Structure 1
């Protein structure tokens, strides 16, 4: 396909592409630097979603973000899923392909949510080998996203951040760092989110996610259905200070608001990114 933007050109604060906003985007051509596409929604052989995606891709860079690799499962990798994903990537030329550090399938049965992993050396090796397999099949490096979790395994022997550090090192993959997920998990499990951030290798972080959580009785629930909360904005500022002006996505998946509300959230993130970029450029001078 012919595009106006090279695959690697993403910066600033992007938005998740949702069907509710197709017409807004095509009619008004809003100043969004890039869109993240939920790849699982576009793996078919045709139809209206792919039609709209192709038109939007002509004017905007994209990334592909999925939930279907099931990288933590004991099942074999779903090669048909990867084949369809590779076909989509070859067509749409995304800047990045990403999925989650979790599992969704066992014995061929699929869950409706992302399930957590025990953090051990053996599981680390297992997941890393599956990421290597996926990368070899797709013929490109992928990003893995840190989860939000509500339970912990008593068999875990290392911290989540040490587990992630080991996985990306062994698999030679990159990270989609979800700052909201860090805050949610830190609150739910009682650890310091700054310890998490400080352990993440800076050169691996290629994209950041921001989203809104819901306060439940005794825990935080990662719904992606609200504006970003103030403590997550604060943690995001710390993340930018450590990792630099990393492209950032406003993620909103439930109770999707108007496009203007999403743009306002992206503007907040973009202001912080520009501020960090200016600080770093002054230091270089």
Structure 2
């Protein structure tokens, strides 16, 4: 059913989320970065500098396309216009990977500008699976589904997150994107063990790993409340959890996400270099 072949596969090394201010730096001195990720919604136009730069980068680097606006978990049908624009982007770019979040962000035609959590029920699993099958049929390729960063749990939940994600993947044939920072954030907020989460995660389904920064606050009870901000360095406990993840599942393409308060290129490149060192040490 999925007969389109990407131009390249993602190497099992470090990548970064591409930001236009880093265009020249990436071309002149990309090491240790081996691949780039873009947000699909930033490249759905027909021309201009963004598209020209992306075409140029795609000649040198494998590209991963990460969607943030499909609202895979929404109750209503997928936005056909949005899906059509995404299909056009994927058709000409032929990226190495496409992924989206396990979340919803639309309601009755309104876009909420946030990635909101879902109850893990059989009904929700069926709806998300139908949406993923629609996306995969439109794109002609399997996608990856990312585990969310969460701050609460729903009372009507019928299964845990790993059962839910695994059930979707087995039903639709999609892969999984394992965001290690999201695991750390969600488990800390819910007072769960992130190592246990990683130990139970189906690593054979993982096609990509994400690492990012988070902000730490406190809730009304004085307990830690972590916010997935993508606006600072990856913290040491997340690096340790990443090393444990690689020890379990082997080397995987690993993205450094830094979307807010974006630093100068040397800072971002050093985060990628740290990922490269962990990859080398754990997989040696």
Tell me the TM-score range normalised by the shorter chain.
over 0.9
C-alpha distance in 2 between matches for 1:129 and 1:258: 41
Whether the aligned pair in 1 keeps the contact of 2:121 and 2:159 (CA below 8 Å) is yes
- Could you tell me whether the CA contact under 8 Å between 1:202 and 1:243 is conserved in 2? yes
* Deviation for aligned residue 1:189: 0.7
- Partner residue of 2:45? 44
Q: Give me the TM-score of the superposition, normalised by structure 1.
A: 0.92
Tell whether the 8 Å contact from 1:11 to 1:34 is kept in structure 2 after alignment: no
Equivalent residue number for residue 112 of structure 1 = 113
Partner Cα distance (1:134, 1:22) in 2: 30
Deviations 1:67-118 (A, max 9, x none): 1111100111112212211211121121100000001111111111101000
| 1:195 CA displacement | 2.4
Structure 1 stretch 22-31 or stretch 62-71: which is displaced more? 22-31
Greater displacement, 20-29 / 218-227? 20-29
Distance 2:228 2:251 in 1: 24
Q: Residue 56 of structure 1 aligns to a residue in which SS? A: helix
- 1:271 paired residue number: 277
In the alignment, the residues of structure 1 paired with residue 11 and residue 17 of structure 2 have an alpha-carbon distance, to the nearest angstrom, of: 13
Higher RCO structure, 1 or 2 (CA under 8 Å, sep 6+): 2
Contact preservation (8 Å) 1:13, 1:270: yes
Per the TM alignment, residue 9 of structure 1 is displaced from its structure 2 partner at its CA by 4.3
Q: What is the rounded CA distance, in whole Å, between the counterparts of 1:9 and 1:239 in structure 2?
A: 18
Deviations 1:133-160 (A, max 9, x none): 1111111000011110112211112211
Check 1:274–1:73 CA distance in 2 against 1; reply closer, same or farther (3 A cut).
same
1:283 counterpart residue number: none
- Native 8 Å contact 1:72 1:102 kept in 2: yes
Aligned residues: 274
Alpha-carbon deviation of 1:179?
Answer: 0.2
Compute the TM-score of the two structures, normalised by the length of structure 2: 0.93
| Equivalent residue number for residue 213 of structure 2 | 212
Q: Which residue of 2 aligns with 1:281?
A: none
**8 Å contact from structure 2 (residues 15, 254) kept in 1:** yes
Pairing 1:155-194 to 2, within 5 Å after superposition: 155-194=156-195
1:63 aligns with 2:64: yes
CA RMSD of aligned residues (A): 1.4
- Is the contact between residue 14 and residue 32 of structure 2 (CA under 8 Å) also seen in structure 1? no
Distance in 1 of aligned mates of 2:100 and 2:122: 21
Give matches, 1:1-150, under 5 Å: 6-150=7-151
Mean Cα displacement is larger for which, 161-170 or 250-259? 161-170
Does the 8 Å contact 1:162/1:199 carry over to 2?
no
For structure 2, which runs of at least 5 residues remain unmatched after alignment?
1-5, 220-224
| Structure 1 gap ranges (5+) | 279-285
Which consecutive aligned stretches of 4+ in structure 1 deviate over 6 angstroms post-superposition?
none
- Quote how far apart the aligned CAs of 1:128 are: 1.1
The alignment status of 1:254 with 2:260, answered yes or no, reads yes
1:175 Cα offset (Å): 0.7
1:170-203 deviations in Å (ceiling 9; x for gaps): 1111011000000000000111112221222121
CA distance in 1, matches of 2:13, 2:27: 21
| Further displaced range: 32-41 or 22-31 | 22-31
Q: 1:29 to 1:163 in 2, by over 3 A?
A: closer
